[in-house]
Structure 1
Amino acid sequence: MSAAQYNARYRRLVGGGATVLSAGFDLPTQLGYDSDHPDAAGEVGRAGVAVDSLDDMRVLFGGVPLEAVSLYLTADGPAALLLLLYQLVAEEQGVEGERLRGTVRNDILTEYIVRGRGLFPLVPSLRLTADLFAYCRAELPRWRPLSLTGHRLVRAGASPVQEAAFVLSHGIEYVRTAEGAGLDVEEFASRLTFRSGRRVWARVMKERFGVRWPGVPGAWLPRFLVGDGIDAGIGGLLDRVEALGGAAAGIELGFQRHEIGWEGGILGAATVPGDQFRGGSAVVLRQRERLAKVRAWRHGQRVDGALGAVRAAAGGTGNVLYPLKDALAAGATVGEACGALREVWGECLAPNPPDEYRISFTGPPAREPAPKEPYSAPG
């Protein structure tokens, strides 16, 4: 799907009175590759929009009054870069950061479970997440920097209890990440969008972090997850994750994949309804042409200097989003910016077959894998 096709749809929606929009990205964009990268072959514009540069984001939101809409960005690994591109387009429209509203999914822990990989190794990925949290607090105060959902875990085979427990464990890991970045835990946690186990989450936040409020605004509890017995099941599995050192440590051991019996590889981007939004050879050629023009027209030395600043920040302790924003504004592509970070942080490759994971458990998974049926949120 091209940015122009998406834009036409946005303008129709806004013209009809819509105030909430969502953006889903193709697999290369989600993996931090430009459309002309060899690993992007066959996936450009499929089941989402290809965004390689600021130029693509301009097309995507051209003519859309960004101060009047709330945007949901379906992004995880490249969430920071895509949000920065959106902010840059808004600034070109004269919309300051404090007027932008929206949410970014940015759930890298679920990404590791269902895809078996991320853009970067887990520790620097959490560092980037912490930098995004801090950046949103300072520059985009109305933006929610994280949305936690469990539907992808269900697609990978998680039971309702596993879904809730693992999502809750991710929430704890992200709160710890925010706390480590010097953010106020109570303020940060109140900005999460969350969809699982309200009572367990409230208890965890009170007991482990001293948060006074009783729950998360906007959270819902599925009808089949009601009752003290279910809460006990969620809490028990949550305690097992915490005993390993938390969600991130469990992922490195392969615990979550082992428990849900997930033996798949990469779950791709969410399907976009309508064949007219599918990618194809025309989209691939268009994206390659656009990339060539961007690289020909930009100031090469300025881009090189900006990417050098990204590498320096990645190797230090400062917030990497500020030099990333400068690099993207100078004309660096998403793939080039991710490449600069990979040079310092390393790359996370697809895992080996499941029997070679670093799992420290014996015997079969705790439950048989659930049928891979489409997930429907409870009504």
Structure 2
Amino acid sequence: MLMSGEESEAVAMPEQESIETTQPVIEQGMLFDPAELARLEVAHQQWEETALHQSLQHLSERDLLETTSGVPIKRLYLPQDIATFDYMRDSGFPGSYPFTRGVQSTMYRAKPWTMRMFAGFGTAEDTNTRFKYLLQQGQTGLSTAFDMATLYGYDTDHPLAAGEFGKCGVAVSSLADMELLFADLPLDQITTSMTINGPASAIWAMYIVNAEKRGIPRARLGGTLQNDILKEYIAQKEYLFPPEPSLRLVIDTIEFGAREMPRWNTISISGYHIREAGATAVQELAFTLADGLAYVDAALARGLLIDEFAPRLSFFFDVHNDIFEEVAKFRAARRLWARLMRERYHARDPRSWMLRCHAQTAGVSLSAQQPENNIVRTTLQALAAVLGGTNSLHTNSLDEALALPTEQAALIALRTQQIIAHESGVAYTIDPLAGSYFIEQLTSETEQAAYAYLERIDALGGVLACIQNGFFQREIAESAYRYQQEIDTGRRQIVGVNAYTTDEPLKVPTLYVDYTGQQHHLDRLRYVRRTRDQAEARRCLDNLRRVCETQNNTMPALLEAARAYCTLGEMTNVLRAAFGDYTEPAIF
């Protein structure tokens, strides 16, 4: 495991002969007296031989006493489990290295986490209405979902987009859609997250141009672009181009953001989709940080300085039902990233050491059976994210195993966060589970296991090599298979699915996407193509093509194309022609 190189400072004590002659010498940094630990171990053995032995004779323990990821959980955790724990090295204080206890000094005591509900369906107008509704209900940040055609860089009238309009997010084919999507919203006062990857830079260009047309300078815009293409090859599979040019586009945005948009997170390095594909908590953490290190290496190779861009890197994690495992994952993530940034990359700005993250409750954990149970699952997961110290949070809706969320379901999900923030008391103190023998040991185990994966990935040639040789895909597939086998055999119980089932029919209302909106969208797309300055649009696309053939940053050309109302499909077609398509090699 990486160590910080820092030891806790000795505290000068006044000379007291009686104390010096009776107290044992304790090593610097140790929290426990070794002699007391030895006495405690004797007492523990006596307890096992008496009280515990008698209890087990009458009632045996349950099977599958392990984390969701399959890590065995001990019966009891004691001080000796964290005997080597050094507070300043391993925990520290909130807002200070190694940030185990949080990246802000006051955490939620000053301000709750950002409540950023994921929203997007049908037309830009419909989604704009949902955005305004959620803001009126107390949401504090926007989070945009795009439909499948948009995610793949196609205009809505492309043959491959047939039947996909608005089903998993909003359709955006040109700047005209972006203008309607964020109409009347104070983009310089709220932050906006956009979940898109392959064509992320083109969509971001439309967002920037839209704001500037409204008189909002790009430097005042705050938000996050997911833009994590490496995890697409690993898990989600919404890639467009081969890995190398795709990585170039990501670094183009990181470079542009570092120099032009100081309030924007140009990438959200995402473990969420890796976990949803079947990874364990440790794999999610390790593969996400490995991707992050790959982006850091690529940005350094571009000529950027580590402290020029690292403060705006952000992360995105899944939150499952196992509360303590999830809390440990968040704490281990911050500590491991801080150590890597300071020791491996020699970053000097403390902001470069901070792992700032968004979290979303686990969509894959939701069931179509007895969907009301999903409210409870989401509540537990949201609580875990808060106890783990997330910076922002989306809570899934009860009906998401069936369809896009209805307005009422989305409101319940938002209210879940608000109740946790204002009624539960968990936000009153910082990192309330710190010092728990179990949590501290699980945090260290998670960090060590994730670092072991990082070493394996390095030994195999790095992230791009592991994508090509199928390492990530095999690891995730094996974990997903094990978990599903546990459910299929009944060894792992899921309430309403393989335990406590009923035959009652579903009674949950679901959202219907009105396809009259698709016609309005297509009419607008045709109008844009017909009325724009055609010569200017062609010039901008030609310029984008020339830039792709050089090593210059593509963002200025994409901004120019967006400003000329070139469509998403037109811009992506230029990139496809320059970079080629990508087909994943056969792994199994």
TM-score (norm 1): 0.85
The alignment status of 1:85 with 2:206, answered yes or no, reads: yes
User: Among the aligned pairs, what percent are the same residue?
Assistant: 37
Select the structure of larger CA radius of gyration: 2
**SS of residue matched to 1:64:** coil
Q: Quote the offset at 1:221 in angstroms.
A: 7.3
Q: How many angstroms does 1:144 deviate by?
A: 0.7
Report the counterpart of residue 71 of structure 1 in structure 2. 192
Paired residues of 2:227 and 2:268 also in contact (CA < 8 A): yes
Match of 1:254 among 437, 461, 470: 470
Query: What is aligned with 2:460?
Result: 244
Structure 1 counterpart of 2:303: 182
Two-structure CA RMSD over aligned residues (Å): 2.4
The answer to whether 1:6 aligns with 2:127 is: yes
Q: 1:334 aligns with which of 538, 551, 568?
A: 568
Q: Which residue identity lines up with residue 304 of structure 1 in the other structure?
A: R
Contact kept in structure 2, 1:310 and 1:320, CA below 8 Å: yes
Within the candidate set 343, 350, 362, 1:207 is matched to 343
Q: Is 2:551 the counterpart of 1:317?
A: yes
How many Å separate the matches in 2 of 1:274 and 1:93?
38
Write out per-residue CA displacement over residues 176-212 of structure 1, whole angstroms, 9 at most, x where no aligned residue. 1211222221232221223552222222223321124
Q: Does 1:348 align with 2:486?
A: no
- The answer on 1:57 being equivalent to 2:195 is no
Partners of 1:110 and 1:290 in 2: CA distance: 33
Structure 1 224/164 Cα, relative in aligned 2: closer, same or farther at 3 Å? Answer: farther
Q: Which SS does the other structure have where 1:148 is aligned?
A: strand
Between Structure 1 and Structure 2, how many residues are aligned?
345
Partners of 1:232 and 1:19 in 2: CA distance = 35
Q: Which residue of 2 aligns with 1:289?
A: 523
Correspondence list, 1:1-379, <5 A: 1-15=122-136, 18-194=139-315, 195=317, 196=330, 197-212=333-348, 213=350, 215-219=353-357, 226-261=442-477, 275-276=510-511, 278-349=512-583, 351=584, 354-355=587-588
1:30 and 1:80 mapped to 2: Cα distance? Answer: 12
How far apart, in 2, do the equivalents of 1:341 and 1:280 lie?
A: 32
Change (3 A) 1:14 1:229: closer
Report the equivalent of 2:422.
Answer: none
Alignment match, 1:268: none
Separation in 1, partners of 2:548, 2:179:
27
Question: Does the aligned pair in 1 maintain the 2:175–2:562 contact within 8 Å?
Answer: yes
Distance 1:112 1:274, change over 3 A: farther
- What SS is found at the alignment partner of 1:190? helix
Q: Distance in 1 between matches of 2:441 and 2:180?
A: 43
CA distance in 2, matches of 1:114, 1:262: 13
The C-alpha deviation readout for 1:17-52, integer Å capped at 9, x for no partner, is 644111110111111111011111111111100000
Q: 1:259 to 1:92 in 2, by over 3 A?
A: same
Do 2:144 and 2:192's aligned partners in 1 also have CA atoms closer than 8 Å?
yes
| Structure 1 residues not aligned, in runs of 5+ | 265-272, 356-379
- SS of the counterpart of 1:226? helix
Q: Give per-residue Cα distances to partners, 1:115-162, cap 9 Å, x unaligned.
A: 335121110001000110111122211101111231211111101111
Aligned partners of 2:586 and 2:237: how far apart in 1? 10
CA–CA separation in structure 2 for the residues paired with 1:77 and 1:42:
20
Give the superposition deviation at 1:236. Answer: 1.0
